[in-house]
Structure 1
Amino acid sequence: MTLGTAAVRRRMQAQVACWMLACLLALPVLAQAQAAQTVPSGEAKTVLVMGDSLSAGYGMAASEGWVSLLQQRLQREAPGWRVVNASISGETSAGGASRIVEAVVRERPEVVIIALGANDGLRGLPLADARRNLARMIGASQHVGAKVLLVGMRMPPNLGADYTRGFEENYRLLAKTFDTALLPFLLEPVATDRANFQDDNLHPTVAAQPKILDHVWPALRPLLD
């Protein structure tokens, strides 16, 4: 077996595992969703954001983060939508996976933005574990009828080239497997300029938040139609 063939087989196995996981998740999620009330006619549709400190607005007023700015843009450009920001500073994909069922049943979102993984990478979480956690979140969201925007992250090379490449590939593989929208790197427009970051060199500044929203918006906008 060639190296290329082995890589293809590993990818196929990962895809099959993701689909099996989604199927297993479907029954309990759907059962809970059916117990929830139907959204009344005319009620605002919901974008649910499941993220970490990058989406929770770490180091700034809640109204200054890109998710809060998203709510303001929706009021102008997509009336009838609201944002529920369920992001938590320090959140990992495991934490998101543990919260997702309750969140989607409670909020009944039409769109779920999953923006997790940064803390996984900083801790060196095995890639298969991160992939499994994100797959659960996507599967749960889709099985209550929500569209998903998967927002990726990139890691510095200190954990090795294989981990860095595999970390990025996780998002592409999941997006392809579950047929979701994908934004490969949340911090793409600000990452190369140190001035865009707070003193910790991890969290973007207030001034960088509109740039992040402008980056997210083209990927999100089609899901609102």
Structure 2
Amino acid sequence: MRSTRFSYFYSILFSLFIAVLSGCSNDKKTASGETPSDTAAAVAKPLVKSNTKNILFFGTSLTAGLGVDPEEAFPALIQHRIDSLKLPYKIINAGLSGETSADGKSRIDWLLRQPVAVFVLELGANDGLRGIPVKETEVNLQAIIDKVNKKYPDAKLVLAGMQMPPSMGEKYTVPFRELFPALAKKNQMAFIPFLLKGVGGVPKLIQQDGLHPTPQGHLILAQNVWEVLQPIL
């Protein structure tokens, strides 16, 4: 009798064990928390891919919009134009205050981790204000351009020209000014002759620091850039 009771007990225990195993198998989840059936269903769903392309603005405090609201900086203003025309582009503002061409050469690799369809290069102003030799600036800018071309050979490139005030002397300002169109021609880049055209030297369009555009000034910068950028888009 005792043997029969133990036999019956183990029979029940064995049945429960099988039931638990069966339940665990049916409810087993993947590392993402989904059951195999859920995962299969997800894979079966068509993936919706975005056709939006990135425009990378790589520059100084002029691009960053120092002293104005981010939405008032010229890259954001250009994004509004792009959106109004329903063009499939998204602007990435990678402007950084104080950036020199050497700094940019060191920073560009990190930014190129994301896809780039259009690359707008606005560097050199801080080099000029610091009196960095023009040849050194040229080498750094060329290195940046080469990195973009190597990573994204189909990307369209735009270069923003810059000029220094006459007070720095012709020996420096002339070769500095001539650097940009020469670099654009060499690399077959679309060229903005002078980013600050219509703004530089106009007190009401420049902040109290004497360097950076006001919101009204950025409206003009946006137009200067758009005239060159729009045909590319």
- Cα deviation 1:153-176 (Å, max 9, x = unaligned): 100123320210100111111111
Partner-residue secondary structure (3-state), 2:163: coil
Q: Tell me, yes or no, if structure 1 residue 157 matches structure 2 residue 163.
A: no
Q: Indicate conservation of the 8 Å contact 1:113/1:150, yes or no.
A: yes
Asked if the contact 1:48/1:107 (under 8 Å) is kept, the reply is no
Instruction: From the CA coordinates, give the structure whose radius of gyration is larger.
Output: 2
SS for the counterpart of 2:216 is: coil
Establish whether residue 201 from structure 1 lines up as the match of residue 210 from structure 2: yes
Aligned to 2:103: 95
Structure-2 residue corresponding to 1:176? 185
Question: For residues 86 and 174 of structure 2, what CA distance do their matches in structure 1 show?
Answer: 36
**Which one is further off, 141-150 or 83-92?**
141-150
- How far 1:181 sits from its partner (Å)? 0.8
Among candidates 54, 58, 64, match of residue 62 of structure 2: 54
What is residue 140 of structure 1 aligned with on the other side?
A: 147
SS at match of 1:207: helix
Residue of structure 2 equivalent to 1:108: 115
Q: CA deviation at 1:79?
A: 2.0
2:77 corresponds to: 69
Q: Which runs of 4+ in 1 moved over 6 A?
A: none
- Give the superposition deviation at 1:222: 1.9
Shifted more, 77-86 versus 120-129: the winner is 77-86
Distance in 2 between residues matched to 1:174 and 1:56, nearest whole Å? 23
TM-aligned CA deviation for residue 42 of structure 1: 3.2
Match of 1:86 among 82, 87, 94: 94
Taking the TM superposition and a 5 Å limit, the aligned residue runs for 1:185-224 are 185-224=194-233
Matched residue pairs, number? 184
Change (3 A) 1:51 1:78: farther
Counterparts of 1:23-42 in structure 2 under 5 Å?
41-42=49-50
CA RMSD in angstroms comes to 1.4
Q: Which amino acid aligns with 1:202?
A: L
Structure having greater relative contact order (Cα 8 Å, sep ≥ 6):
1
Whether the 8 Å CA contact 1:149–1:180 is kept in 2: the answer is yes
Structure 1: gaps (5+ residues)? 1-39
2: distance between equivalents of 1:154 and 1:138? Answer: 20
Structure 2: any 5+ residue segments left out of the alignment? 1-47
Partner of 2:125: 118
Residue 131 of structure 1: aligned partner: 138
- Residue aligned with 2:110, SS: helix
**What is the DSSP-based 3-state SS (H/G/I as helix, E as strand, rest coil) of the residue aligned with 2:66?**
coil
How far does residue 99 in structure 1 lie from its aligned partner after superposition? 1.4
Deviations along 1:85-131, one digit per CA (max 9) or x if unpaired, are 11101111111111112212x22111000001110000000111100
| TM-score normalised to structure 2 length | 0.76
Identity %: 39
Deviation at 1:142, TM superposition (A): 2.0
Counterparts of 1:215 and 1:177, CA distance in 2: 22
CA shift for structure 1 position 192? 3.6
